[in-house]
């Protein structure tokens, strides 16, 4: 068994929670080890004995990226999966390579930042929202930028898209990236590398409400703009390492 099962054990008994499968490890001897990201409980390593033997009673509910209802039992030693019911499989994303890559990146990034056995419902909502946007037709590039900015924001690390990180003034005429965030033309000492129009588009991608973002993202947006700037956002995750 994985030692992580013994970190911050729950009181012995049964639990029923919704969530998603962040990671899965298979063993013919011990079955599957699942990192379930659960509402109210956060990420928890769970043992699903026999699930890797080809005789699993859990079906596809133990596949990564599945969302479902999970019944668990905390024994004196380990947390076990007893029942699982799929609520959303996001199977349609598997036929769209660009969206599938984005979804896998969402999960990989989340796995890097969550803390096992700590309640993280805000982060769980960020992940669910990003996945449903992909399912509902948002382009992967804009959804990726939004996801990474919102994840950073939930962690208290997101760069401001409205104010200069150095002087605090509101952007007027564009901005440029620095190691600490976006800076205005006065603080950068040169012409802004990001135009005012581009900066507004980035801010809309990150901060529009769900339905407005979905409508906006399906209009004539420039996907290459988000591909470029999401790479800048990823550097802010360095604070977590």
Residue 149 predicted with pLDDT over 80: yes
DSSP line for 51-85 = TTTT--SSGGGGSTT-EEEEEEEE-SS-EEEEEEE
Mean pLDDT for the stretch of residues 33-43: 96
E strand segments, 130-198: 176-177, 182-183
Residue 6 predicted with pLDDT over 50: no
The full set of domains in the chain, from first to last, is 3-88 (2.40.50.140), 92-240 (1.20.1440)
CB 206 within 8 A of CB 233: no
- pLDDT cut 70: percent of the chain above it: 92
CB 112 within 8 A of CB 123: no
| Local confidence band at 189 (pLDDT 50, 70, 90 cut-offs) | confident
Count of residues making up the chain: 241
| Model pLDDT, residue 3 | 36
d(CA 190, CA 160): 20
d(CA 65, CA 54): 20
CB 53 within 8 A of CB 31: yes
Residue 52 predicted with pLDDT over 80: no
Mean pLDDT for the stretch of residues 189-213: 94
| pTM for the predicted model, two decimal places | 0.91
Both structure tokens of 184: 């205005």
CB 166 within 8 A of CB 127: no
Both structure tokens of 141: 């590039």
pLDDT tens digits for range 83-99: 999 999 999 999 999 99
Q: How many CB atoms lie within 10 A of CB 188?
A: 18
Chain centre to alpha carbon of residue 237: 13
């Amino acid at each position: 068994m994985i030692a992580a099962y013994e970190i911050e054990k729950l009181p012995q008994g049964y639990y029923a929670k919704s969530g998603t499968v962040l990671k899965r490890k298979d063993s013919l001897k011990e079955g599957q080890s699942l990192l379930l990201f659960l509402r109210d409980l956060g990420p928890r390593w769970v043992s699903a004995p026999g699930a890797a033997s080809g005789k699993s009673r859990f079906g596809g509910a133990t596949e990564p990226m599945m969302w479902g209802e999970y019944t668990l039992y905390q024994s004196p030693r380990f947390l076990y999966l007893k029942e699982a019911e799929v609520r959303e499989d996001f199977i349609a994303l598997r036929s769209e390579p660009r969206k599938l890559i984005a979804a896998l990146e969402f999960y990989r990034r989340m796995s890097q930042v969550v803390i096992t056995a700590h309640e993280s419902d805000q982060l769980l909502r960020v992940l669910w929202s990003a996945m449903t946007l992909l399912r509902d037709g948002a382009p992967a590039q804009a959804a990726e930028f939004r996801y990474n900015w919102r994840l950073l924001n939930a962690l208290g690390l997101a760069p401001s898209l409205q104010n200069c990180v150095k002087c605090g003034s509101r952007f007027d005429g564009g901005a440029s990236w620095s190691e600490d965030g976006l800076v205005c033309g006065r603080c950068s000492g040169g012409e802004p590398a990001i135009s005012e129009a581009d900066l507004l588009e980035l801010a809309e991608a990150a901060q529009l409400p769900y339905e407005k973002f979905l409508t906006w993202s399906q209009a004539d947006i420039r996907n290459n703009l988000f591909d470029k700037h999401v790479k800048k956002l990823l550097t802010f995750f360095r604070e977590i390492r």
